[in-house]
Structures are given as structure tokens and as C-alpha cells.
């Protein structure tokens, strides 16, 4: 598996899963453009970084067009950026609902709108979208998150159908609990109700047949595989990477 002379865009590349995805593509020889709303100023990123809020459609359009001026070819788009908002449905603020939907589902839509003409013109490319096993299984306190991820998974499959005649593949990776900042927010939530729902790491592990929480690399390996020629006949699939936590 190698990505020499390939151009790979990764959203959410500042940390967590997106960062590991970007690193793996760098190691495999790709030219990587990382996009994120907040890169850490003290971190040295071994790939190009572009700051953009993917929930801002105008900003996404301007950013995508600027990158395309420099790199007119896009071989792989990986949608990783996402946010979590917790709250029982009747208590969830409208702002949190919109934030989740806007970042997790609309953001990838805005970016795909910019890149679909490129993929069609090239008649090649691959899109890998990091959704969640929460797209399949309802979770307490996670109404907005689950709904946004279900929308994202469906978006990916619809685009896969549109792009299949052009030879462009679109697949989903659905992680379960993964050791990142997002997950630590759940583990260390000071809110008792959230703690009951989310549990602590040991409780998490109980529900995972493989008995461990994923590391970001576990997710990134599946992303790079799906983006590679090894998965050349795989499209519109959803690979759940959660240690067997859900069927």
C-alpha cells in the first residue's frame, strides 16, 4: 500500500483520529493537506495545515478553491472532523443540535460539493468518511450526535452512488470508543448523569468483546486501506471498528 504522488485531504487533522490518519498517509508517501478549525500552535505537523471551519460553507468553498489552485488533483478525501454535544433531547439546546448537525453532516457535504466536480473530471478518487457506531445504535444523551452521524453515513452512501459511474469509491469507517480528546471528555465529565451514561474506561471495556478501547491508529489503518487500491472494488460500505461492541 503506497500513496506516492497522491494528494490526500484530511479534515480534523489537528489531533486524535484525523491526526493519525494524516500521519499514516504521510508515511505512505502522500502529499497531505490537513484541514482543521484549530491547529495547535506548539505542535509541528509533518504535513501542510489549513485552518478552516468546515461548518462555514463560504469558508469551505474559498479554502477548497485555494488549495485546488495549488494542487489540482485530489486522490483521497478523508472526512474526520466532528464534535460531540451531550444532552437529553428535551434539554438539548437548539444551538447544540445545530452545531452537531452543521459540523458532522453539513461540513462534509460542503466539502464534497467542492470536490465532486474534481473527482468526476479525474474519473478517479476515493472518499473515506469517519462516522460512528452511534449512527447505528441509539445512545442516551447523544441524540444530536447520533442523528448527525446517521445523516453523515447516509450522505456518504448517496455520494457513493452518484460517483460510482466515475470510478470514485466512497466508504465509511464507524469507530466505537477511541482513545482521543473527544472520548476523554466523556470519561472525565464532572456531570454525574453523563458519568452514569458514559462510564469510565473500565466500564467502557466491559461492553467491548475485544476488551480494549481503540487507539486512533486502529481507525487510521482501516481508513488508509479503504482509500488504497487494495480496496479497489469496495464502495458504499461501512466498516465498524469497535472491537465487536455492536453487530
**Does residue 18 belong to the site contacting ligand NAI (CB under 6 A)?**
yes
**Does residue 5 belong to the site contacting ligand NAI (CB under 6 A)?**
no
Count of chain residues binding ligand NAI (CB under 6 A):
28
Contacts 24+ apart (CB under 8 A), 190-196: 191/86, 193/141, 194/86, 194/141
Candidate ranges 117-125, 170-178, 187-195, 222-230; the one touching ligand NAI (CB under 6 A): 170-178
Per DSSP, the three-state class of 73 is coil
**Does residue 130 belong to the site contacting ligand NAI (CB under 6 A)?**
yes
What residues contact 100, with CB distance under 8 A and at least 6 apart? 83, 84, 85, 144, 145, 147, 148
Candidate ranges 119-127, 157-165, 176-184, 227-235; the one touching ligand NAI (CB under 6 A): 176-184
Residue of 28, 68, 92, 182 that binds ligand NAI (CB under 6 A): 182
**Does residue 153 belong to the site contacting ligand NAI (CB under 6 A)?**
no
**Does residue 183 belong to the site contacting ligand NAI (CB under 6 A)?**
yes
Is the C-alpha dihedral spanning 233, 16, 241, 163 positive or negative? negative
Q: What is the distance between the alpha carbons of residues 17 and 238, in angstroms, rounded to a whole number?
A: 17
- Let me know: does 207 contact 245? Beta carbons within 8 Å: yes
Chain center to CA of 188: 23
Q: Minimum Å distance from CB 189 to ligand NAI? A: 14
What residues contact 182, with CB distance under 8 A and at least 6 apart? 16, 82, 83, 84
- Let me know: does 176 contact 131? Beta carbons within 8 Å: no
Q: Minimum Å distance from CB 202 to ligand NAI? A: 16
Residue of 178, 194, 224, 235 that binds ligand NAI (CB under 6 A): 178
Is there a catalytic annotation at residue 7?
no
Residue of 3, 6, 8, 17 that binds ligand NAI (CB under 6 A): 17
Residue of 45, 47, 48, 53 that binds ligand NAI (CB under 6 A): 53
**Does residue 171 belong to the site contacting ligand NAI (CB under 6 A)?**
no
* Interface contacts to ligand NAI, rule CB under 6 A: 11-12, 14-18, 36-38, 53-55, 80-83, 103, 107, 130, 132, 175, 177-178, 180-183
Amino acid at each position: 500500500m503506497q500513496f506516492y504522488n497522491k494528494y490526500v485531504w484530511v479534515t480534523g487533522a489537528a489531533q486524535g483520529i484525523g491526526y493519525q490518519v494524516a500521519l499514516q498517509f504521510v508515511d505512505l508517501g502522500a502529499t497531505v493537506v490537513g484541514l482543521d478549525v484549530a491547529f495547535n500552535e506548539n505542535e509541528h505537523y509533518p504535513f501542510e495545515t489549513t485552518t478552516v471551519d468546515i461548518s462555514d460553507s463560504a469558508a469551505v468553498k474559498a479554502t477548497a478553491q485555494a488549495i485546488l489552485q495549488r494542487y489540482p488533483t485530489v486522490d483521497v478525501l478523508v472526512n474526520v472532523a466532528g464534535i460531540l454535544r451531550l444532552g437529553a433531547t428535551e434539554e438539548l439546546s437548539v444551538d447544540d443540535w445545530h452545531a452537531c448537525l452543521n459540523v458532522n453532516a453539513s461540513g462534509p457535504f460542503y466539502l464534497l460539493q467542492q470536490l465532486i466536480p474534481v473527482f468526476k473530471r479525474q474519473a478517479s478518487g476515493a472518499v473515506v468518511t469517519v462516522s460512528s457506531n452511534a449512527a447505528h445504535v441509539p445512545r442516551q444523551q447523544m441524540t444530536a450526535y447520533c442523528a448527525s452521524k446517521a445523516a453523515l453515513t447516509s450522505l456518504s452512501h448517496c455520494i457513493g452512488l452518484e460517483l460510482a459511474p466515475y470510478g470514485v469509491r466512497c466508504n465509511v469507517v464507524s469507530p466505537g470508543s477511541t482513545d482521543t480528546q473527544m472520548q476523554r471528555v466523556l470519561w472525565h465529565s464532572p456531570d454525574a448523569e453523563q458519568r452514569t451514561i458514559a462510564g469510565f474506561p473500565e466500564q467502557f471495556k466491559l461492553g467491548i468483546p475485544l476488551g480494549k478501547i481503540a487507539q486512533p491508529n486502529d481507525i487510521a489503518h482501516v481508513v488508509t486501506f479503504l482509500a488504497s487500491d487494495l480496496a479497489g472494488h469496495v464502495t458504499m460500505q461501512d466498516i465498524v471498528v469497535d472491537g465487536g461492541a455492536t453487530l
